[in-house]
Amino acid sequence: MGAQRILGIDPGTATVGYGVIDCPTKETFRWIASGVIQTPRHLSAGERLAIIRADVLSLIDEHQPDCVAVEAIFFFKNAKTVIPVAQARGVILEAAATRQTTAFEYTPMQVKLNLTGFGRAEKRDVQEAVSRLLKLPEIIKPDDAADAVAIAICHARLSLAAEQSSRPSPASA
């Protein structure tokens, strides 16, 4: 398969984090871009979702990722939060499908485990792992953007590891 470009997304309603990386191997990463999509609080839910969809479509068009990796909803303490985040995830997944870009989903625990070796790692530990893996002089800001890059790295490692393990080894060929 070769190098992959991955768009990682940390969904939300007020703020959606995004991060784009290139990865020629499961342990070689290059930061391309990261940031956040902000939606004004005074807008209706539908208007905010329309902004998220349009901006995700623009990100896909601009960066041409091979796939999109999105944080899955795993557990929420606040029921009022889970529904808007689920709606944002829906428009993100729909935007990827509209651009015929395959989407993958990872729980926060999967991302933390993959990047730090501990599924209940602190946010700062994940941010430092991202910075180290990308050979950046400091952590990515804001937090939502750093989380999105972490999701992209998690996908790169898991998908390339699966691809490499499914190939016959030279000894068995």
Question: What pLDDT is recorded for position 171?
Answer: 47
Architecture of domain 4-165: 2-Layer Sandwich (3.30)
- pTM over 0.95? The answer is no
Domains of the chain: which residue ranges? 4-165
Point out the residues that are catalytic. 10, 71, 144
Q: pLDDT (tens digit, 9 = 90+) per residue, 97-132?
A: 999 999 999 999 999 999 999 999 999 999 999 999
Query: Coil, strand, or helix at residue 38?
Result: strand
Confidence at residue 169, expressed as pLDDT on a 0 to 100 scale: 40
Helix axis angle, 79-98 to 45-63, nearest 10°? 40
